[in-house]
Amino acid sequence: MEKIYVLTDQESLAFYSMDVYRSIETPIAVIKPGSVEELQEAVRVTTGLDVAVITRGGGGSYTDAYLPATAQSLIIDTSRLNKIIEINEEDMFITVEPGVTWAEMAAGLPREI
């Protein structure tokens, strides 16, 4: 995984330690995979470490869902996993990666849906 997508600077860690309302603990690092293979590698590398691994999507939680509860936490930010995989007009479903925003999804849909 490229070093640029592993964040350890204090400014980034402070950002990732907060949701809309509060901060609990600061993570030791944030990993931002850009492919399924990078996500698999991140999970492989962190398996067996004595750290809590937390996934974060868009970062709009109001419920502490992605906040580190312990200082020994690592966040995997899925925002770079932002591809639309499939739009099935016949069965009316869409398959997206976890980093796709509502706006990106809407822009990718045909007008008539």
Reported as a single tens digit per residue, the pLDDT across 72-99 is 899 999 999 999 999 999 999 999 999 8
The mean pLDDT value of the chain amounts to 85
Pick from 11-15, 64-68, 108-112 the range whose average pLDDT is largest: 11-15
DSSP string, 6-55: EE-SHHHHHHHTB-SS-B----SEEE---SHHHHHHHHHHHTTSSSEEEE
Q: Is the pLDDT of residue 12 over 90?
A: yes
Q: Is the pLDDT of residue 53 over 70?
A: yes
Domains located in the chain, CATH noted: 3-77 (3.30.43.10), 82-113 (no CATH)
Confidence at residue 55, expressed as pLDDT on a 0 to 100 scale: 87
Q: Contact, 49 vs 70, CB < 8 A? A: no
SS3 74: strand
**pTM for this prediction:** 0.80
Which DSSP category does 4 fall into? G
SS3 85: strand
Q: Per-residue confidence at 19, pLDDT binned at 50, 70, 90?
A: confident
